Amino acid sequence: MQVSPKILVIGSRGQIGQNLVESLRERFGYDQVIGCDLRKPAAEVGPFYQVDVLDKDALKRLIEEQGITELYHLAAILSAKGEENPQLAWEVNMKGLLNVLELGREGVVEKIFWPSSIAVFGPNSPQEMTPQHTITDPTTIYGISKLAGERWCTYYWEKYGVDVRSIRYPGLIGPKGLPGGGTTDYAVDIYHKALTSAPFECFLEKDTRLPMMYMDDAIRATIDIMQAPKENIRIRSSYNLAGMSFSPEEVFESIRKHHPSFQINYSPDYRQAIAESWPASIDDKYANKDWGWKAAYDLPKMTETMLRELSHHYSIKITN
């Protein structure tokens, strides 16, 4: 009989963490999955501890006390927020990862997941169908920290045999949890605005295409890569992962099919330059070949699902 892993999700209150904890609990059992974050939850969310990932001793104590075998390390400062405070972004993103990798080296945990991002690419990377192995010259501190993190992951795998697995997430969109200060946040906000009948102010230009993914796909990929046999994970930096690609105008038009009176205005800000340094689409053939990855959502399917899920959420809010 297979024993369920005991899992810790660091950064469990974030946009991805909330969704990942819920899916992991459905799959492995409620008490098998523990959340931790710097911020305390507002309401009861099941087993949770308030821990700073920069405090390695506290993290180690928690892992040992709870008998944790697998770690999902999601705590980070994201791209747009990182540009406001580059020193903090470097400190949290690098030191947090190194603490977790060291716990792997010490044998405190067996398996680690850590996400990278399409932000590792830069202005000289090919923009269309960006390959797995290509020029990576990120311009943001966030991208620089993710690229350095990928090299650290490879180093810990090759030098110490730490079983660390990683995905370069594109921009993630889902009905649950608000985004935490990234350059693709507009693609979540636009669905909320569509349901509150307010016009949407977009901080990117209408034709800026970026790689995106529906949250359910991202969570499935995250759990799949962690459950894949060790020998299948041949890339130990981070796997390219593709879902769909669209521009603000394209997502706006897909929403207008359901809400014809919806309005949009464009006022690009500093995030436009970040978006322009990133790819428009991603080649994820290695993820497909090594551990069977295939996205299930395209833009029309995601729009339909987002509007349905969010309208349920807003009708509950209105009736309460």
Which residue in the block uniquely carries the two structure tokens 């929403």? Answer: 255
Of 22, 52, 137, 276, the residue at the interface with ligand NAD (CB under 6 A) is 52
Where in 209-268 is the site for ligand NAD (CB under 6 A)? none
Whichever of 171 and 175 has its CB closer to ligand NAD, that residue is 171
Distance, CA of 223 to CA of 225 (rounded, Å): 6
**Would you count residue 108 as binding ligand NAD (CB under 6 A)?**
no
Q: How many helices (H) and strands (E) does the chain have?
A: 12, 14
Residue 117 is a binding residue for ligand NAD (CB under 6 A): yes
**What distance in Å separates the CA atoms of residue 311 and residue 230, rounded to the nearest whole number?**
41
Decide: helix, strand or coil at residue 87: helix
Q: How far apart are alpha carbons 283 and 206 in whole angstroms?
A: 24
263 Cβ partners below 8 Å, 6+ apart? Answer: 199, 200
| Catalytic residue chosen out of the listed positions 30, 49, 72, 142 | 142
152 part of the interface to ligand NAD, by CB under 6 A: no
Query: Counting contacts by CB under 6 A, is residue 14 touching ligand NAD?
Result: yes
Position 279 contacts ligand NAD (CB under 6 A):
no
Candidate segments 48-56, 219-227, 274-282, 287-295, binder of ligand NAD by CB under 6 A? 48-56
Task: Kindly state whether residue 99 participates in binding ligand NAD, applying the rule CB under 6 A.
Answer: no
Q: Which two tokens stand for residue 225?
A: 């890569």
What span, in angstroms and rounded, lies between the C-alpha atoms of 123 and 270?
Answer: 16
- 71 vs 92, which CB is nearer to ligand NAD? 92
* Residue in 143, 182, 243, 279 binding ligand NAD, rule: CB under 6 A: 182
CB contact at 8 A, 73 and 35: no
Is 172 one of the binding residues for ligand NAD (CB under 6 A)?
yes
Residues in contact with 277: Cβ distance below 8 Å, sequence separation at least 6, in sequence order: 121, 122, 123, 138, 139, 140, 143
Catalytic status, residue 191 = no
Residue among 76, 120, 221, 302 that touches ligand NAD (CB under 6 A): 76
Contact positions toward ligand NAD, by CB under 6 A? 10-11, 13-17, 37-39, 52-54, 74-76, 78, 92, 96, 115, 117, 169, 171-172, 179-180, 182, 184
**Catalytic positions, please?**
142
